[in-house]
Amino acid sequence: MNISFLGNWRKRRDPAFGVAVFTGGDSGDGGDDDGHQALAELLSECELLRAQAEQAGVELDDSTASLEALDQLVPRWRDDEETAAWLGNDAGLYLGTVVVRAVPGARWEIWPNGQPVVRLASGREVDVVEAGQEWAASGVPELSQLYAEVAEG
């Protein structure tokens, strides 16, 4: 459906940056293991990134090797500011997904403003969404490089 005034309204606004997740409770630590697992599943969807990768012949299997493959994609999305913003969100969430699945003790946390971050066993919090946005905008730092830095501690 083409709604002309809506398209014009969107053009006058900055593209959406970031992603917010709101939970229904005030459990302090983000909930039980089932809650963390459900949150991890939700944040791992990354539909736009998965579609872009599939079109380029890259399989996103939540592995560190898939981060390296993403780093090799030709960044055609940079021509479209809105796509780059959403893709950056997805890239950050995907990076977080790989970290949570591969780094012992890493888990998703939600800041009070709704921003998802990865908390490492050391207590360090990594704003993977911001990192994904930087990657989508400039390609630097590479996702695989970020993973290596996070995995070290």
Fold category of 30-152 in CATH: Four Helix Bundle (Hemerythrin (Met), subunit A) (1.20.120)
63-87 pLDDT, tens digit per residue, is: 999 999 999 999 989 989 889 999 9
Section 96-122 average pLDDT:
96
36-53 pLDDT, tens digit per residue, is: 889 999 999 999 999 999
Query: In angstroms, rounded to a whole number, what is the distance separating the alpha carbons of residues 129 and 132?
Result: 5
Q: How confident is the model at residue 117 (pLDDT cuts 50, 70, 90)?
A: very high
Domain boundaries, the chain: 30-152
For residue 108, the cross-strand partners are 118
Which residue in 104, 116, 103, 112 sits closest to 45, CA to CA? 116
